[in-house]
Every structure is written in structure tokens, then in C-alpha cells.
Chains A and B, each alone.
Chain A
């Protein structure tokens, strides 16, 4: 791997850690332990269901918030503080900067998710006393959540490469919401006719597809996940991330850093 990309990634990770991003884990831990205790006392038979649903949803939301709010600042903060100037006046190419920033935040999110995953499993152990075979699917759900983080991080970078941080956050968040309904959106598009159909389908295919990546309720109901789904979801997430990052690089390469 390109060493400069690695150095920038490492510095981005260090920034997130030192700026106390991982403090969200405390809130998460409180939420999980509170939920485990409450659920253990009030709902019989569905403790597992509630813990898995709540835990994975919280992992997803916490991570999304981090991905969006740090993602939009990755570039603009370095411009505001003029640190980007000192980086780009060195033998660092602009695409290396974007790639480094992406891998740094992605790494932060992976580490954050690992901690949260431990929390979910701990709460699960607390309410059901033992693990069972189907709990392995929770790992798959967590993996899909991380894939979602990659997509949204790349999108946040893309939007922040041409708009203000606030607008970029709005864009990224809207795409997260719209992407969660991506399959319905393609359904809508399929119902229209003529030119509209082309335009609507085009838009629907451009939106990131988070619905196939969200298997929280499936997993909570102890349903298995097919290998094909894992394979295609992985391929899709990586390719979509590449697309968004290439877009970010394309825009950033031409940008005048006023």
C-alpha cells in the first residue's frame, strides 16, 4: 500500500480517537446494559429479539452519525485550518489525501463497531445465559452494517468535496434515509412509463441500496443469510464506495483551494 495514504489514514484515525469520538461507546454501553436489565425483567421469551434488534439498530445509528459528521469535516476542516496546504505542498497527490482520509475514518468506524459488537454480545449473553448457533448471523448483520458505513463515509467525502459541511451532512443523511427505501424506490420507478421511467429508474439505481444491507430483523428472527447475499452485498458495497470515492477525487482534483 502507498505509504503516504497509510500515514494520512493513521493520522485521521488518531484525530478521531484524540477528539474523543470513541466516547460514544460509553453512551452505547449504558444503553445496552440498561436495555439488557430492563428487557430481562419485563419481556419474557422475546428478550433475545429485543436485544438484537435494539443493539444492532443502535450500532447502525451511532456509526452513521459518526460517519456523516466526521466524514463531512474530513476535507473542510483541513482547509479551514490550512493544514491541507502544508500537506499538499509536500509530495502528496490529492487522490492520496482523499484515500487516506477515507481509510482513516473507515478504520475508526471498524474499531468502534468492534467495541459495540462486544457490547451487543455481552447483553445477549446476559439475557439468554448462553450463545446459540444462530447468533453467528449477528456477525453477518454487523458486517453488513460496516459495509453501510463504508458507503456513507465515501458519500460524505464526495459531498464535502464540493459543498459546505452543513449541506454535505444534509445530502449524506438524506441519501441514508432514501437508500433505506431503495427497493421501494425502484418499485415506484418501475410503475411509471416512458421517459419518466428511464429517469426514475436511473435515479433509483444511483441511490445507494441500504435495504439489502439491512438484515437486522431477519437476524433477530434467527433466520439465516445466504452466501450469495453476503457475496453480492460485499461486491456491491465495495463497488459503490469506489464510485463515490472516484467522484470525490474527480471533483477534488480540479478544486481551487481558496
Chain B
């Protein structure tokens, strides 16, 4: 009996240690093969062949490829890579296997279009992907929204965008702002306002955490751009009046041009520079801003998304 207990103890310890060891080795293996699973894509580049090979389990395979697409994008993005060649084929395969995988079209419309390092920089491919999605899901207004989004944001094709929003607005269940957007496109005026409306819509409607974080960052960037533009207009006026730039925001307050010290969307105060320019305190916190950065500022290789964008209200 005693020897049996000893055997059990040895076996138990062995099982525990090897469990720990196997997890450690798995992590090493994952590091060793960063794109391990993705190499498989290259060997079976034809989505149609893959559909046949998946023996009728194409729904499951689609999910697998969709996960691979997200993983691929995430890992390349995190590594600061500028290469996203596999994103398009992965999304193509996922949507061929399951044409109703709407989230994949949405993902593609955002991350296939934007230039590296924030996306693959392939807006034409993204448009084809979303159009394929519309053919297969003609009743889904969100796909028209995605299409319009690409036309507007990346191609500046207002006619195309207006068309997409107008078509989508006719569908049952379409959000009311689809009509508004169609109108805005026709006027193509007030670009910042339109952009803000679209990013807000995306932020509220999407359920994908990456897209939501991206939209949140864009919204903050729009706010900063707007603030900086307005504040720099004030310092210019002050300069006109007094012949010198204000040294603090208090000077502007005394001149009755401002109430309080202005703050950026993250609650930090703006910096007032000697030449009247306005800068944000933490430019790294605001990817996508076009104004308010110090001269010769280079953004970090990987845009910094804030965690509360992911956990944000649904």
C-alpha cells in the first residue's frame, strides 16, 4: 500500500511538472512560428478549393479563418509591421467559406483600406470585398454604410459614397443617419462634422473591439484637431491685437477671449508655445491627429489605443 501511495505521488508530481513544462514549450513554439498557422494560407490560396476540402464544415472553417485574420492583423500591427499581405486573402477565404460573415466585411472596410502601419492600404480590394458582401447580404444596410465609408474616408469619392449611403438608407431597419450622411455627401461640406458623425456612428454600432478602439481614437483626434484650430485662431487674433503672442492661457483669459484653461479629450491641458502654436501634452496618446504635434514629431510605430475604448459602453 505504501509503494502504491509513492507511485501516485510521483505520478502526480510528474503530471504537474510536465503540464507546466508543456505550457512553457508551447509558448516557445508560438514564438518560433509567429506566422505558423498563416503559412497554411499560402499553400491553399484558392478559397473555392478550400471550401470543397472542408467537407461541408465550411461554417466552422470560416470561423477558423476569420480568427486567423484577426490574429494576423493584431500580431503584425503589434509588431509595428508595415506588411499586411495576408489580410486580404484571409478575409477572402473567410467570406468565401461563409458569405454571411458580416463582421469580416466590416473589418475589411476598416483595416484593408487605411495605409500602413494602420492597415493594408488596399481600398480597392476592400471595396470589392464589401461589394461581394452586399451581393450575398443585400438586406444588410451596414454593408452599404461600410462601402460609403471607404468611398468617403479613403477615396474621397463623394458621389460613390452618396450612392452607397442612399441605397443603404432605403433598406428596412437602416439607421436614420444613413439619410443624413447621403445628404452630407451630396453637399460635401463641413468635412470635420461629417467625419465626426461617421466615426460616432461606427463607434456606437460596431461590436468589434478593434474597430471600436480605432473609431474612439479617430473621434479624439478630430476633437484635438478642432480644438487646436480654434485655439491657434485665438492666439493669432491676440497677436494681431497686441503685437505679441500670449505667454499663458491666462493672457487670453484677461483679454476676454477664453474662459478657463482648455483641456484635451483625455483631460490634460493644452500647451501654449512661444510662437503661438498649440500642442498636446502627450502626442502619443492621440494617434491620427493632424494638428497639435511638436515640430518633426514622428508618431510611434504602433498607434496607442486606450483600453477603455475596448471596454466602452455597448
Contacts and interface: CB of A to CB of B under 8 A. Distances in A.
Given A94-B7, A205-B26, A229-B32, A183 B37 contact: yes
12 contacts: A93-B3, A183-B33, A186-B30, A187-B70, A205-B22, A212-B36, A217-B40, A236-B29, A242-B14, A246-B12, A250-B8, A253-B8
Contact of A211 (B19, B22, B36): B36
B33 A212 contact: yes
Given A187-B37, A226-B32, A239 B43 contact: no
Interface size class for chain A? 35 or more
Contacts of A95: 7, 11
A78 interface: no
B192 interface: no
Nearest to B70: A191
Nearest to B38: A183
Given A235-B25, A236-B29, A240-B22, A246 B11 contact: yes
B14 A187 contact: no
Interface string B13-43: 0110011011101101110110011011001
Contacts of B19: 206, 243
A243 B15 contact: yes
Given A183-B36, A250-B15, A188 B25 contact: no
Contact of A239 (B8, B21, B70): B21
Contact of B15 (A183, A205, A247, A253): A247
B171 interface: no
Nearest to B40: A217
B64 A181 contact: yes
Contacts of B33: 183, 212, 229
B254 to A, nearest CB: 50
Contacts of B3: 93
A94 B19 CA distance: 22
A218 interface: yes
Contacts of A236: 22, 25-26, 29
A240 B18 contact: yes
Nearest to B71: A187
Contacts, number: 92
Tell me the interface secondary structure of chain A in the complex.
Answer: helix
Nearest to A186: B30
Given A209-B26, A232-B32, A243 B18 contact: yes
A209 B26 CA distance: 8
Contact of A188 (B4, B12, B22, B67): B67
B314 to A, nearest CB: 13
B277 interface: no
B68 interface: yes
Contacts of A250: 8, 11-12, 15
A251 B282 CA distance: 59
B57 to A, nearest CB: 10
